[in-house]
Structure 1
Amino acid sequence: MSIVLALPKGRILDEAGPLLARAGIAPAADYADESSRRLRFPTNHPELDVIRVRSFDVATFVAFGGAQIGICGGDVLMEFDYQEIYAPLDLGIGHCRISVAEPKDDVHTNFASLSRIRVASKYPNLAKKHFAAKGIQAEVVELNGSMELAPGLGLSRLIVDLVQTGSTLKANGLVETDVIAHVSSRLIVNRIALKTRPDEVNFWIESFRKALAA
């Protein structure tokens, strides 16, 4: 049975390309083609396949054993906190931050007077924990995209979202007012696979470790 490496679609997939090459992994040419209908791709190693899934789904595939290893953003790991996942390596790619943002013309700098606030986010657990630490109950409106629209259309007072450059916030009249966490992408491993297939899984952990040192 092949080892399956789960990769996220989008920006991190592009950034992971050179790292995969240094680790000696060459997937089928269309693995990085977003228009390809295939989702599972062979590699130059007969015992290793690559799957391409949504970034939030990488952790789920690995946690439930659909994939044995994966590349996953730290934001996803913090949101889901799967006990079945071991994250041995920070890969140094996909750098960004999870931040609170709000309309630039209505910045509320003092949350001490609030006991409840509505927040739009795809990170309900992180958002609730962040505001709970400030003594505020967050009512989270869960959105999977176009978060920046929420305050202007009355869905929420704030948003909690992933920020790289801040240009999308600026273009939509929002400003970053708090950074919850700085994140990057990590190599993740299914803990059961690490125990039941230690030689195979450790081989790939070490391959990525060497790739980072190269």
Structure 2
Amino acid sequence: MPKPLTIAMPKGRIFEEAAGLMQQAGYDLLTDQEDSRKLILDFPEQNLRIMMAKPMDVVTYVEYGTADIGIAGKDVLLEQDRDVYEVLDLGISPCYIAVAGLPDQPLSRIAPKIATKYPKVAADYFREQGEQIEIIPLNGSIELAPLIGLADRIVDIVSTGRTLRENGLVEYEKITEITSRLIVNPVSFRLKSDEIDEMVRQLSIVIGEEVK
């Protein structure tokens, strides 16, 4: 039997939604093991192996070939700019990246401070707007930054907007829409083309996307 097709997937909401799509496509990954502490899940009857990874690490595993395929948010792909093929927009876990801050708070004239866990996305966006900014990298509780005067604005993921509202912040600009994407290692794309093409074809049928 050939080596299993290895898929890197994040735990939580994205896994649940992706596993649902995979099941509709004929790949049964729905299992109680997702709630366990196991990081590698084997499905020998389907010749599949699932690696459970943090969302920001999925693209790294795929780029270095430890996973053939991955499911990652477009936000991660934009931020990391890794050498992987983005082959299919799965349309799951929709959200968007936005600029937010305190209401009626003007930007500082000289190098506004922008707090974010997406420094590349933020820098690219403000550069396109002709703004020179100072990036303040943060990993959590980004909404705190403008409240304590650390930053003029934040750049972060917005799903429902509830967290912004509860902290008295408003959305200023929407940067880009985000969904989860199917990504492939370039070498695996050649060596395991039959299995990968079939998975892409089946998933495309499920989500109603025309295969190119």
Fold similarity call, TM over 0.5: yes
Question: What residue is the counterpart of 1:121 in the other structure?
Answer: 116
Question: What residue is the counterpart of 1:107 in the other structure?
Answer: 105
| TM-score between the two structures when normalised by the length of structure 2 | 0.90
Residue identity opposite 2:117 in structure 1: K
What CA distance in whole angstroms lies between the structure 2 residues aligned with 1:107 and 1:44?
A: 57
Bigger mean CA offset, 197-206 vs 186-195: 197-206
Unaligned runs of 5+ in 2: none
Residue identity opposite 1:48 in structure 2: L
Question: What residue is the counterpart of 1:87 in the other structure?
Answer: 86
Question: What residue is the counterpart of 1:55 in the other structure?
Answer: 55
Deviations 1:27-61 (A, max 9, x none): 3623431xx21111112644211112111111111
Q: What is the Cα deviation at residue 62 of structure 1?
A: 0.9
2:208 corresponds to 1:210: no
What CA distance in whole angstroms lies between the structure 1 residues aligned with 2:165 and 2:21?
A: 32
What CA distance in whole angstroms lies between the structure 2 residues aligned with 1:175 and 1:41?
A: 42
Question: What residue is the counterpart of 2:147 in the other structure?
Answer: 152
Residue identity opposite 2:48 in structure 1: L
Q: Would the aligned equivalents of 1:87 and 1:187 in 2 still touch at CA under 8 Å?
A: yes
Question: What residue is the counterpart of 2:20 in the other structure?
Answer: 18
Deviations 1:139-178 (A, max 9, x none): 2221222111111123211110000110001111111100
Q: Would the aligned equivalents of 2:111 and 2:134 in 1 still touch at CA under 8 Å?
A: yes
What CA distance in whole angstroms lies between the structure 2 residues aligned with 1:31 and 1:183?
A: 28
Residue identity opposite 1:86 in structure 2: Y
Q: What is the Cα deviation at residue 24 of structure 1?
A: 1.7
Question: What residue is the counterpart of 1:141 in the other structure?
Answer: 136
2:186 corresponds to 1:191: yes
Question: What residue is the counterpart of 1:76 in the other structure?
Answer: 76
2:162 corresponds to 1:167: yes
What CA distance in whole angstroms lies between the structure 2 residues aligned with 1:142 and 1:9?
A: 24
Aligned-pair identity in percent equals 41
Q: Would the aligned equivalents of 1:115 and 1:135 in 2 still touch at CA under 8 Å?
A: no
What CA distance in whole angstroms lies between the structure 2 residues aligned with 1:28 and 1:146?
A: 32
Unaligned runs of 5+ in 1: none
| TM-score between the two structures when normalised by the length of structure 1 | 0.89
What CA distance in whole angstroms lies between the structure 1 residues aligned with 2:10 and 2:133?
A: 29
SS class of match (2:175): strand
Question: What residue is the counterpart of 1:64 in the other structure?
Answer: 64
What CA distance in whole angstroms lies between the structure 2 residues aligned with 1:211 and 1:73?
A: 19
Bigger mean CA offset, 187-196 vs 198-207: 198-207
Q: What is the Cα deviation at residue 203 of structure 1?
A: 2.3
Q: What is the Cα deviation at residue 205 of structure 1?
A: 1.7
What CA distance in whole angstroms lies between the structure 2 residues aligned with 1:152 and 1:66?
A: 41
Q: What is the Cα deviation at residue 127 of structure 1?
A: 0.4
SS class of match (1:150): helix
Deviations 1:166-207 (A, max 9, x none): 000111111110001011111111111101221222222223
Deviations 1:3-33 (A, max 9, x none): 1111122322222232021122223623431
What CA distance in whole angstroms lies between the structure 1 residues aligned with 2:183 and 2:33?
A: 20
